[in-house]
């Protein structure tokens, strides 16, 4: 996968990572809102690169080729509020047991 990154993309990722680390080290008293704001700012710069690379290596809307054998370990983080758009494919059953009770996903 590393070959899918262009040199300028690698440089951008390194610079953004250094920027984020420098910001965190320079703002040890930052509250959660400030940290979340910086995270979103950096993600908005990272995401287009990651999306492009993911598409280049064969990822994309189809997800994991062949699906995820056995399903997602522990279920979908945060569940699927409102259910699956259009219902479950092929008449599959509804949501299974809630296995994430008491789990904090750190969001």
Q: Can you tell me the distance from the alpha carbon of 70 to that of 92, in angstroms, rounded to the nearest whole number?
A: 14
- Digitized pLDDT (tens) for each residue of the chain, 107 residues in all: 788 899 999 999 999 999 999 999 999 999 999 999 999 999 999 999 999 999 988 875 555 555 555 665 666 555 555 555 555 555 444 445 555 555 555 65
| pLDDT the model gives residue 1 | 79
| pLDDT the model gives residue 3 | 85
Q: Can you tell me the distance from the alpha carbon of 47 to that of 41, in angstroms, rounded to the nearest whole number?
A: 10
Residue with tokens 């054998």: 69
Instruction: Kindly calculate the radius of gyration of the chain based on its CA atoms and give it in whole angstroms.
Output: 19
| pLDDT the model gives residue 46 | 93
| pLDDT the model gives residue 21 | 95
CA distances from 5 to 44, 55, 63 (A): 17, 11, 20
Q: Can you tell me the distance from the alpha carbon of 11 to that of 15, in angstroms, rounded to the nearest whole number?
A: 6
Q: Cα-flanking dihedrals φ and ψ of residue 62, to 5°?
A: -75, -15
Q: 0.85 exceeded by the pTM? A: no
- Percent composition of the chain: helix, strand, coil (DSSP 3-state, to 5): 50, 0, 50
């Amino acid at each position: 996968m590393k070959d899918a990154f262009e040199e300028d993309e690698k440089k951008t990722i390194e610079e953004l990572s250094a920027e984020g680390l420098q910001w965190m080290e320079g703002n040890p008293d930052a509250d959660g809102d400030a940290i979340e704001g910086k995270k979103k700012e950096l993600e908005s710069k990272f995401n287009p690169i990651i999306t492009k690379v993911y598409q280049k290596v064969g990822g994309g809307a189809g997800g994991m080729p062949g699906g995820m054998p056995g399903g997602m370990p522990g279920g979908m983080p945060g569940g699927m509020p409102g259910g699956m758009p259009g219902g479950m494919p092929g008449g599959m059953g509804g949501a299974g047991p809630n296995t994430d009770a008491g789990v904090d996903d750190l969001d």
